[in-house]
Amino acid sequence: MIKGITTAATFGAAVCLARSEYEKKRFSVEETCIRSDKILKDKTLVFLSDLHNNEFGPGNRRLLEAIRRVNPDAVLIGGDMMVCKGRRDVAVPLELVKRLARDFPVYCGNGNHENRMVWERETYGGLYEEYRDRLKRMGVIYLENGTAPWGADTEISGLDLGQRYYRKALFEKLDPMPPDYLVRRLGRVRGAGREEKFQILLAHSPMYFKDYAAWGADLTLSGHFHGGTIRIPGLGGVMTPQYQFFIPWCAGDFETDGKRMIVSRGLGTHSINIRLNNRPQLVVVRLKKQ
């Protein structure tokens, strides 16, 4: 009896591991349409998040081909393109972005792995500045608590969250965000009335959606949670990198007071290198005038 159970468990684990390895290298392209009276001209963006040095074919060939088929008006990057847990390897994201920047405008925000290069400077030295400056030389619009225009009707902001907002929830309660936190980091949303812009916010953690919406983000693009590692139909993602279980923000499309947030399942993994029912995701957003 015990031997039979052990054999079945071993077989089940092997099947799950094989399925996980299969999923990790096969992303899906998923589209969302958002309409707004602030949009003056229809446009398309592609959103990348949480690559964590993953490659879909040599030089990320398959990922690049998929993006080129979409032919977006801009590529937005939401952070965690590398793994910074003692590692100093940023070659994969640099090569991918170099190829993207040849064909498309690229806007880049930071996640906790980019920020870790600053928080742990004794380990990483000047790697963050080297990475950022190389991207800037490629023509990338790098958003460190900054805002840049995208056409006449849209602005894109990149928020660098403080380290305390990424604490492991298993051990410590997540910090609430002060009401003026985004204003202090990004300033106020610009424009009013007929001149009001459609505001996109790159904010790596989705946990503070209400704060992002209150600040004025019409569309927040987040990631960080890798879809919850394992997704169970009806229950969603099992566990986040911050050790939160079955929270609704692991992945998907959310709305509050007319504001939207899209949370990507990401493109890679780290530490817990598992994906089950949770394929990597290339997010496509069609912005259309009302």
pLDDT at 25: 86
Residue 30 DSSP SS3: strand
pLDDT at 125: 95
Nearest residue to 200 via CA among 219, 222, 187: 219
pLDDT at 235: 87
CA 200 to chain CA centroid, Å, is: 13
Work out the mean pLDDT of the chain and round it to a whole number: 91
pLDDT at 35: 97
208's tokens: 């503070």
pLDDT at 6: 56
State the pLDDT confidence band at 272, using cuts at 50, 70 and 90: confident
Name the more confident of 52 and 6.
52
pLDDT at 191: 59
Write the pLDDT tens digit of every residue in 176-217. Answer: 999 999 999 999 987 555 568 999 999 999 999 999 999 999
Residues 6 or more apart in contact with residue 261 via CB below 8 angstroms: 206, 209, 212, 213, 219, 220, 221, 222, 253, 254, 255
Q: Look up the CATH number of domain 2-289.
A: 3.60.21.10
pLDDT at 170: 64
Write the pLDDT tens digit of every residue in 89-99. Answer: 999 999 999 99
- Per the DSSP assignment, residues forming a β-bridge with 148 are 156
Can you tell me the mean pLDDT for 109-134?
96
What's the CA gap between 250 and 256, in Å, rounded?
A: 16
Residue 231 DSSP SS3: strand
What's the CA gap between 66 and 253, in Å, rounded?
A: 21
Write the pLDDT tens digit of every residue in 126-176. Answer: 999 999 999 999 999 999 999 999 999 999 999 999 999 998 776 567 789
State the pLDDT confidence band at 16, using cuts at 50, 70 and 90: low
Percent pLDDT > 70 in the chain is: 91
pLDDT at 271: 80
Q: Side chain identity at 269, as an amino acid letter?
A: T
Is residue 262 packed enough to be buried (19+ CB in 10 Å), middle (13-18) or exposed (0-12)? buried
State the pLDDT confidence band at 11, using cuts at 50, 70 and 90: low
- Give me the DSSP letters along 161-215: --GGGG--TTTSPPPPPPTTHHHHHH-PPP--GGGPPEEEEEES-GGGHHHHHHH
